[in-house]
Amino acid sequence: MAAAVSAAVSLPSSKSSSLPPRTSIISTERISFNKVPLYYRNASSGTRVVLIKAQITTDAPAKAEKVSKKQEDGVIVNKFKPKDPYIGKCLLNTKITADDAPGETWHMVFSTEGEVPYREGQSIGVIADGVDKNGKPHKLRLYSIASSALGDFGDSKSVSLCVKRLVYTNDQGEIVKGVCSNFLCDLKPGAEVKITGPVGKEMLMPKDPNANVIMLATGTGIAPFRSFLWKMFFEKYDDYKFNGLAWLFLGVPTSSSLLYKEEFTKMKEKAPKNFRVDYAVSREQANAKGEKMYIQTRMAEYAEELWELLKKDNTYVYMCGLKGMEKGIDDIMISLAAKDGIDWIDYKKQLKRSEQWNVEVY
Ligand SMILES: Cc1cc2nc3c(=O)[nH]c(=O)nc-3n(C[C@H](O)[C@H](O)[C@H](O)COP(=O)(O)OP(=O)(O)OC[C@H]3O[C@@H](n4cnc5c(N)ncnc54)[C@H](O)[C@@H]3O)c2cc1C
Ligand SMILES: NC(=O)c1ccc[n+]([C@@H]2O[C@H](COP(=O)([O-])OP(=O)(O)OC[C@H]3O[C@@H](n4cnc5c(N)ncnc54)[C@H](OP(=O)(O)O)[C@@H]3O)[C@@H](O)[C@H]2O)c1
């Protein structure tokens, strides 16, 4: 399967460091990781709200069985286990939120030399250096892969993550730093990192290049979708050319914490008919009723359109990020389905069976 990266992309950063990639690049234009200021003030805003009237529910329409993406040949899981992890090297680590954002999120690239073969939508485990309070090695933490299978340098020899630094104040008023996220966000180029996996099949992409793919992300939940979208819009394959609709909803607290916005803007320029992106900036935007702009609030503005898409057999929804988003999204779906007399919970079960409703929240 020949492939080539066809887009030049820069990652915004206020602090970044990188090692030059040592491996050969097969991209037609090289991806550059430039230092550019990160201040996104143009998050989309809108006030159109569609009110949905509930009706008597009937049986959900039957869904057609499909070829399972989860049975797909060649999807590797658990090649590397915690007892014998792959030792990668940090090639680049860059902060992708602005200095005034609430919290820090970093984009990092690790070398794999092609030894950790993953697909878009999978995760890897990371074992932080050091020991826990009992003197035992730290347990692994899972991270969604943020790069396409080709990796950010287009040579299938690296894997990228999008990691939020966890820092919180405990009941005793002490500041506590999460073990693995801080280990990762502090990694310097050249440092070694213990990698396990890859794992996960829930979030694998649909095989159909003409599918409608609706991606719902909060914060770092964007990771698998960056991976999908690079494959769809920045890379060229002999056997895959995306010609469906990719529709991304991304929820973040402030415009200074919007993730990968420059890349999504480039994708929109490249494929205006095939890519839509809508942001929900919770602490800066509100709907017409003055409610906080969560991802589900933004989705409600497109209620009719989303529901029409969801009735199609080639529409796939993916959700990733905060656990709380799942209920919020269910709530709007209940009213949408009820409008057609459909019980959402039954319908969702069918969508899940046909792998059209895919959720990885935490
Ligand atoms: C499938 C999957 C994919 C994931 N992908 C990503 C990803 O792409 N990017 C990403 O950043 N994360 C991701 N995560 C989360 C990641 O695995 C870690 O849980 C996260 O980085 C925190 O780990 P840590 O070692 O830094 O924190 P830890 O040292 O493990 O501390 C976390 C613990 O701190 C406590 N805690 C946390 N916040 C508070 C609080 N406010 N008040 C009190 N106690 C608190 C809780 O007990 C929590 O379990 C993913 C998780 C899963 C399951
Ligand atoms: N595969 C996975 O399972 C996976 C992958 C990646 C990340 N994650 C997890 O996803 C989470 C992302 O957190 P983050 O810190 O990166 O995000 P973040 O930057 O804090 O952004 C989260 C956004 O979601 C909003 N939000 C809060 N509650 C919500 C709700 N009930 N419904 C909808 N939106 C809501 C927040 O709004 P306010 O803060 O303004 O309320 C904020 O705008 C982390 O817990 C991470 O571990 C899981």
- Residue 40 pLDDT > 80: no
- Residue 267 pLDDT > 70: yes
DSSP 1-55: --EEE--------SSEEEPPP-S----SS--------------------------
How far is residue 264 from each of residues 103, 225, 258, 293, measured CA to CA in Å? Answer: 22, 11, 11, 20
Which pLDDT tens digit goes with each residue over 323-361?
999 999 999 899 889 989 999 999 999 999 999 999 999
Contacts of residues 22-28 at CB distance under 8 Å and 24 or more positions apart, as own/partner, are 22/111, 23/111, 23/113, 23/153, 23/155, 23/157, 23/158, 24/155, 25/153, 25/154, 25/155, 26/154, 26/155, 27/153, 27/154, 28/4, 28/236
Q: Residue 131 has which token pair?
A: 């020991």
Is 166 annotated to bind a ligand? Reply is no
What is the phi/psi pair of residue 244, to 5°?
-100, -150
Q: Catalytic residue numbers? A: 143-144, 320, 360, 362
Q: What is the CATH number of domain 86-199?
A: 2.40.30.10
| Pocket perturbation via mutation, ligand 2, pick of 215, 220, 297 by most ligand atoms within 8 A of CB | 220
Q: Measuring CA to CA, which residue among 120, 46, 105, 354 is closest to residue 254? A: 105
Pick the CATH number of 212-361 from 3.40.50.80, 3.40.30.10, 2.60.40.1120, 3.40.50.800: 3.40.50.80
Which pLDDT tens digit goes with each residue over 283-320?
999 999 999 999 999 999 999 999 999 999 999 999 99
- Please, are residues 279 and 298 in contact by the beta-carbon 8 Å criterion? yes
Which pLDDT tens digit goes with each residue over 94-150?
999 999 999 999 999 999 999 999 999 999 999 999 999 999 999 999 999 999 999
| Pocket perturbation via mutation, ligand 2, pick of 218, 222, 285, 360 by most ligand atoms within 8 A of CB | 218
Domain assignments of the chain as residue spans, ordered by start: 2-57, 86-199, 212-361
- Within 10 A of 238 (CB to CB), how many other CB atoms are there? 9
